[in-house]
Amino acid sequence: MQQNQSHNGKSRRGGGFGTGVLIASIVVLSGTIYAIGSTAKTIFLAQEEEIIPIIAGSDLDQIPALMRGNLPSVTTSLKHGLPMREKPPRMCEMNEDYFEKLDRGLEQPTGYTVRNEYVRQYRDRRGFLNEREMRAAKVAWHYFEKFTQETTGLANSVGNYPSTTLWDTASYMAGATAAYELCLIEKPEFDKRMTQLLTTIKSLELFRKEMPNKVYHTKTGAKVDYTNKPGEIGFSALDIGRFLVWMRILKNRYPHLANTIDSVLLKWDFANTVDKEGLLFGAYVDKETGETVYAQEGRLGYEEYAAKGFALWGFKPLLAHRAEPFLTASIFGIQVPYDGRDPRVFHSQNYVVTESYLQDGLELGFDLPHDDTSPEWLHSDGWRAEFADRIYQVQENRWRRTGFMTARSEHNVKGPPYFTYDTIFSDGYPWNTVTPRGDYVPDHAAVAAKAALGLWALWETEYTDVLYDAIIELYDPENGMYEGLYERGQGRVAIYTANNNGIILTSLLHKVQGTILTPYTGDTEVWYTAFRDQDVRERRQYPDPPQESDWLPALRHSVQTQADF
Amino acid sequence: MRNLTPILTAIAVSFGTMTQAQTQQTDPNIVDQAPFASENAIIDTSIPFAIGAREAQQSLRGAFGWPTFQEGLVQGVYFRFDPDGYARFAPTPRLDTDVFEVICRPRTYSCMGRKGALSVILNSRGQMQLKIDDVQTGDRFFVSEGVSEIEVPERILQPLETQLELLLSSGGDLIVRRGDNEKDRISLSGFLAVSAYLRWVAARQDYSILPRGWPVPNAVGSDASVTQASTWQSPMPQPQNFPTGQNNLGQTQFQQAPQPLQIQVQPTIASSNQSEVDEVKSELKVLRELLMDRNQTSQAEQQNVPAQPAQTSQQAGMAGSIAQLMPQNATQQPVSDQIAALQRASAQIQADLQRLSQPVQHQTQTGLAQTTLNPTPQVQQTEKVMQAAEQSDRVVDPAMETAKRLQYLMTEIGLDAKTALMLIQLGEGEPQGNQAIATSVERPQPQEQQPVFQENVVAEILQELENDVLKQQQLKTSQIEKEIVMTEEEFVLLSQYFKSVVLDR
């Protein structure tokens, strides 16, 4: 039987083998398919499980800015986790040793830091007010007591002339803040005055439904022209910028006024005020056609100060905050910076005066708008502080080399021409005193009271002591501080203005409290959240809360190392 | 009456302004806001003073000021001026040295130029008048140009003659010498521009008033009058077109209507006096008619009103007559008030006539007149002839008069018939203005006789008016005397009166 099987020569495998192979093949194939499927499933399905949800305001948030209103504004304290500066107490609530504990940075080297911050050669003047200063503060405040209109709460710009600008209204806000912090008035009066003022400003008729008119009648609140007759002129970006600085100061210091303050600004249309490049624009009426003309406004000094006012509210005035184009004129060995835009082309003069630098130093501490942490002696807007040092130094040098006490600013005068730009440099000339139309009027050169006390507050030197003695008793107890002292010996500039008295009060407050602007301590603001459900924010170009990318840059310019003659 | 209104209004306005100014000066704390009131804008800075001038915006930072000004360069001096007329002229663009400053009285076209001790004003006859501080009798004046200098007469302190004005306008320095010492030296740079500016302002920025050769822009729009012959600069006498009733300045505007620079003074005064006399005549006529009308309509109602003495009313001030002469309430006023008003108006007119006659007298005193005013026998004779001619003119047939004028125009002037007829028709259409011209054309008269002749005519009219008034008064007084009968009970002794007062208490 076995032979037969072998004899045939062929071995035949049974059908079970084939079946086994088939089964094996099927198994292998199925396994492969399963493996591939499992792998694919692992790969594709696992991706779905790892999606990160997009949180409003996070890095992945691509939703339009309209929805980002509840983001906090990014400041240095938020970015770097540093403690904010604290609002100082009112003078009457200060401990006696308050000033002994202040960090004044006396041991710090002068000059720029690696982050383009700047440490000035001289320090601020700090301390309690003495008797003479308190008397000056009371008299200066008396100007506002006397010349504030009961009907509107607006203060006259000049004596009893019932008109004002936003610039001078900011001076009134400065005066009221100083009066409260120096304990000249108490909170009820302060609140009453500010609430009435803000309510009036909110109800003011705007220039062509856009921004506040340049001038308003203080008794009626009507918009008027330069002759104080009903009419309209246009708006001034510089005036608005200063006003924004003081609205921010009030809002940060007194949160209970915040909603009122926001509601004032939320009536305005900023669409034509700050352009995409960050230049500031004012407006005027074309005499021929009656149409609105928008024109760039501001020159070196005022322009940067106003730009910072806008930046404090989230705008991005990048170009306006830049010093360029600027040139320098060598005066008494100091390279005095002035605006390089040619007046023959732009029809706007380049006045170099003290006031804009003083206001930056007193109110903003020569700091950038997003800086709420740096100490008093360190100025994050470095080049502004360095330029201010030059402005101070050239005036001291003039005093030392000619004997003329010098504290130059724009100021009113009694009688024609009623207003002068008493400049350090303008129109190609040093110590040029000119009228608004450009006439040279050296007889109106004066030591401006506001400039003198501003210099005294920010530069603690022998020279400012002299200025102080010249000015601190220059007042009429019935009307306020005089505008100044004529340089050529004609006596006092016998006129009283809101701006002069406001800046003097600010200077005195700065001695007690340092930089006037304090950090914002809330989370978000109505200013950033209002109208999110409408297109109003888009149309009026209300900004979003500034982020780090929106910060104005800290810059430096070449430093003068030796006298230049 | 109608022509007096702007004058009287101006007086009232100026009076009010003075009162306001005094009120402001009493409070030292008050800021003077008046300088920038829109009423003080007397100049439109968009109208160029000379070719190349431009209007510019003032760099205002505060709440008030003039929004615009004008600046430019003319005749070698740079200038800037504000809407209120305040101007500066200087040879440097900075306007910082050798500055001629012009200041205008608020709300008027009355301006004054100043440079150092020198002041320049434009008088009511359009002449420049110099004033130099601290000048004494015996001081001598020189105009110096480089090394050469010439002495100028002391007359430069009187209204400037054309020749002297041209001399001073040529530049150089004006030197004041006291003995051998040079007391003062004033640069005359800008004098020409300032004098032109003063005239231009007074003429409401009319280019025709600027001196010959002044670089003015092409006339456009409303300045088409520049092309009219009557406004051309000419050494010959021109009919004076005084702008009246254009604004609220009235009298001031009338008095200060400028004269062309090169016009001879004497004929100008004569012709202007003639036209003013015509105006006065017509006003007197209106007054007389008004009085008669009122008297007739309200005679019955006015009998119980006592008349006022004429002497008192004649002393009333000018401001009072303004309100009295207003016609709106005239029908309700008692006749005595009207008479008083008319008397005051009469006094006013007399004063005006005296004022009108003054320039000629003054001119005589200053030596500007060619002949004296004292009539020689020959002149007196001519005057009588003229008076007779004037009287005979009043009864002349109008047709004869027209024919006479037509003949004169055709034969003497050489006009064709059509033109002559048109001129006469025009003259009839404008009786006040052109009649004076036609009359002067018809009978050219010696200039020195004109004031005397005018005075006679006006005196005659006034006499008629006074007679009318006196008649009215007499009539009324007699009526009142008849009406008023006092009873004995109405009289109370003074002692009894005092006694009654004491007892009442």
Could you tell me the domains of chain A?
65-550 (1.50.10.140)
| Contact status, residue A248 vs residue A265, Cβ threshold 8 Å | no
* Mean pLDDT for chain A overall: 92
Under an 8 A CB cutoff, do B63 and A168 touch?
A: yes
**Mean pLDDT confidence for B223-232:** 45
β-strands B100-104, B111-115 pairing: antiparallel
**Mean pLDDT confidence for A147-159:** 97
* Higher per-residue confidence, A74 vs B146: A74
Give the pLDDT score at B455: 57
Calculate how close chain B gets to A107, using CA atoms only, in Å. Answer: 41
**Cβ partners under 8 Å of residue A101, min gap 6:** none
Contact with chain A for residue B60, Cβ under 8 A: yes
- In chain A, what residues touch B79 (CB-CB under 8 Å)? none
Contact with chain A for residue B293, Cβ under 8 A: no
Give the pLDDT score at B373: 36
**Mean pLDDT confidence for B206-232:** 65
**ipTM attached to this prediction:** 0.78
Give the pLDDT score at B180: 87
Contact with chain A for residue B59, Cβ under 8 A: yes
Q: Which of A165, A414, A416 sits opposite B63 (nearest CB)?
A: A165
Q: Which of A160, A229, A351 sits opposite B30 (nearest CB)?
A: A160
Contact with chain B for residue A313, Cβ under 8 A: no
β-strands B173-178, A292-296 pairing: unpaired
Q: Residue B302: pLDDT band by 50, 70, 90 thresholds?
A: very low
* Higher per-residue confidence, A308 vs B271: A308
Distance CA(A214)–CA(B106), nearest Å, equals: 26
Selected for mutation to probe chain B from A339, A353, A418, A437 (highest B CB count within 10 Å) is A437
Which residues partner with B54 through β-bridges? B71
Give the pLDDT score at A339: 95
Which residues partner with A547 through β-bridges? none
pLDDT in tens, B248-290: 333 333 333 333 333 333 333 444 455 566 677 777 777 777 7
Give the pLDDT score at B262: 35
**Cβ partners under 8 Å of residue B167, min gap 6:** B143, B152
Give the pLDDT score at A320: 97
| Contact status, residue A113 vs residue A119, Cβ threshold 8 Å | yes
Under an 8 A CB cutoff, do B82 and A437 touch?
A: yes
Calculate how close chain B gets to A216, using CA atoms only, in Å. Answer: 8
Under an 8 A CB cutoff, do B71 and A437 touch?
A: yes
**Mean pLDDT confidence for B196-200:** 95
What is the identity of the amino acid at A46? A
Give the pLDDT score at B364: 39
User: Helices A237-253 and A258-265 sit at what angle, rounded to 10 degrees?
Assistant: 160
For the whole model, what pTM was predicted? 0.68
DSSP string over A466-512 = HHHHHHTT-EETTTEE-SEEETTS--EE---BHHHHHHHHHHHHHHH
Distance CA(B317)–CA(B268), nearest Å, equals: 30
Contact with chain B for residue A344, Cβ under 8 A: no
Under an 8 A CB cutoff, do B95 and A439 touch?
A: yes
**Cβ partners under 8 Å of residue B9, min gap 6:** B248, B250, B322
Per mean pLDDT, which range of A267-281, B420-434, B490-504 is the poorest? B420-434
**Mean pLDDT confidence for B357-368:** 44
Decide if pLDDT at B220 tops 60: no
DSSP string over A253-278 = H-GGGHHHHHHHHTT---TTTB-TT-
Distance CA(A161)–CA(B62), nearest Å, equals: 12
Q: Which of B63, B69, B88 sits opposite A163 (nearest CB)?
A: B63
Under an 8 A CB cutoff, do B64 and A349 touch?
A: no
Neighbours of B220 (CB within 10 A): 8
* Higher per-residue confidence, B239 vs B283: B283
pLDDT in tens, A190-202: 999 999 999 999 9
Of A504-513, B199-208, B417-426, B463-472, the range with the highest mean pLDDT is A504-513
Task: Tell me whether the omega of the peptide bond preceding residue A255 falls within 30 degrees of 0, making it cis.
Answer: no
Under an 8 A CB cutoff, do B63 and A349 touch?
A: no
Which residues partner with A210 through β-bridges? none
- In chain B, what residues touch A495 (CB-CB under 8 Å)? 31
Per mean pLDDT, which range of A292-296, A503-507, B185-189, B356-360 is the poorest? B356-360
Decide if pLDDT at B233 tops 50: no
Total length of chain A: 565
Under an 8 A CB cutoff, do A287 and B31 touch?
A: no
Residue A35's H or E segment, with its range, is helix A15-49
| Contact status, residue B206 vs residue B192, Cβ threshold 8 Å | no
- Beta strand extents in A121-225 (DSSP E only): 163-164, 206-207, 211-212, 215-217, 223-224
- In chain B, what residues touch A287 (CB-CB under 8 Å)? 46, 68
Give the pLDDT score at A303: 97
- In chain A, what residues touch B56 (CB-CB under 8 Å)? 347, 437
Calculate how close chain A gets to B109, using CA atoms only, in Å. Answer: 18
Contact with chain A for residue B44, Cβ under 8 A: no
Give the pLDDT score at B406: 76
pLDDT in tens, B92-104: 988 888 999 999 9
Give the pLDDT score at B480: 59
HEC string of A290-345 equals CCEEEEECCCCCHHHHHHHHHHCCCCCCCCCCCCCCEEEEEECEEEEEEECCCHHH
- In chain A, what residues touch B94 (CB-CB under 8 Å)? 427, 429, 440
Give the pLDDT score at B326: 39
Distances (CA, A) of A129 to A499, A505, B418: 21, 11, 95
Q: For chain B, give the percent of residues with pLDDT over 90.
A: 24
Calculate how close chain B gets to A157, using CA atoms only, in Å. Answer: 7
pLDDT in tens, B23-43: 333 344 445 555 677 778 899
Neighbours of B365 (CB within 10 A): 11
| Contact status, residue A142 vs residue A479, Cβ threshold 8 Å | yes
Tokens of A97: 């040793």
Under an 8 A CB cutoff, do B31 and A347 touch?
A: no
- In chain A, what residues touch B58 (CB-CB under 8 Å)? 436-437
End-to-end CA distance of chain A: 133
* Higher per-residue confidence, A158 vs B245: A158
* Higher per-residue confidence, A381 vs B382: A381
Decide if pLDDT at B114 tops 90: yes
Give the pLDDT score at B44: 93
pLDDT in tens, A75-87: 999 999 999 999 9
DSSP state of B104: E
Residues within 8 A of B (CB atoms), A 361-380 only: none
Give the CA angle between residues A366, A371, A374 to the nearest 5°: 75
Give the pLDDT score at B409: 72
**Mean pLDDT confidence for B422-443:** 50
Decide if pLDDT at B319 tops 50: no
Per mean pLDDT, which range of B29-38, B73-82, B186-195 is the poorest? B29-38
Under an 8 A CB cutoff, do B58 and A436 touch?
A: yes
Calculate how close chain B gets to A465, using CA atoms only, in Å. Answer: 30
| Contact status, residue A397 vs residue A391, Cβ threshold 8 Å | no
Contact with chain A for residue B206, Cβ under 8 A: no
β-strands B173-178, B140-145 pairing: antiparallel
Task: Identify which of A447, A339, A328 has the alpha carbon closest to the alpha carbon of residue A399.
Answer: A447
Give the pLDDT score at B318: 36
| Contact status, residue A331 vs residue A424, Cβ threshold 8 Å | yes
**Mean pLDDT confidence for A534-562:** 91
Contact with chain A for residue B46, Cβ under 8 A: yes
Decide if pLDDT at A234 tops 60: yes
Give the pLDDT score at A325: 93
Under an 8 A CB cutoff, do A165 and B71 touch?
A: no
| Contact status, residue A374 vs residue A76, Cβ threshold 8 Å | yes
User: Helices B335-365 and B318-325 sit at what angle, rounded to 10 degrees?
Assistant: 130
Q: Residue B354: pLDDT band by 50, 70, 90 thresholds?
A: confident
Of A54-58, A368-372, B363-367, B418-422, the range with the highest mean pLDDT is A368-372
**Cβ partners under 8 Å of residue A511, min gap 6:** A124, A125, A126, A127, A129, A133, A457
Contact with chain B for residue A233, Cβ under 8 A: yes
Under an 8 A CB cutoff, do B57 and A416 touch?
A: no
Distances (CA, A) of A145 to A80, A501, B27: 44, 11, 19
Give the pLDDT score at A59: 66
| Contact status, residue A523 vs residue A379, Cβ threshold 8 Å | no
**Mean pLDDT confidence for B313-325:** 36
Contact with chain B for residue A418, Cβ under 8 A: yes
Task: Tell me whether the omega of the peptide bond preceding residue B258 falls within 30 degrees of 0, making it cis.
Answer: no
Neighbours of B139 (CB within 10 A): 16
Task: Identify which of A491, A465, A487, A492 has the alpha carbon closest to the alpha carbon of residue A403.
Answer: A487
**Cβ partners under 8 Å of residue A143, min gap 6:** A175, A479, A480, A481, A496, A498, A501
Distance CA(B279)–CA(A280), nearest Å, equals: 62
- In chain B, what residues touch A228 (CB-CB under 8 Å)? 33, 36, 63-64
Calculate how close chain A gets to B46, using CA atoms only, in Å. Answer: 10
Q: Residue B295: pLDDT band by 50, 70, 90 thresholds?
A: low
| Contact status, residue B64 vs residue B82, Cβ threshold 8 Å | no
β-strands A281-285, B111-115 pairing: unpaired
| Contact status, residue A557 vs residue A323, Cβ threshold 8 Å | yes
Q: CA-nearest residue of chain B to A161?
A: B31
Contact with chain B for residue A346, Cβ under 8 A: no
Give the CA angle between residues B465, B466, B471 to the nearest 5°: 100
Under an 8 A CB cutoff, do B65 and A415 touch?
A: no
DSSP string over B371-439 = S-SSPPHHHHHHHHHHHHHHHHHHTS-HHHHHHHHHHHIIIII---HHHHHHHHHHHHHSTTHHHHHHH
Distance CA(A484)–CA(B432), nearest Å, equals: 60
Q: Residue A307: pLDDT band by 50, 70, 90 thresholds?
A: very high
Per mean pLDDT, which range of B158-167, B287-296, B377-386 is the poorest? B377-386
Give the pLDDT score at B249: 31
Q: CA-nearest residue of chain A to B65?
A: A226
Residue A434's H or E segment, with its range, is strand A433-434
Tokens of A350: 């380049």
Q: What share of chain B is helix, strand, coil (3-state, %, to 5)?
A: 50, 15, 35
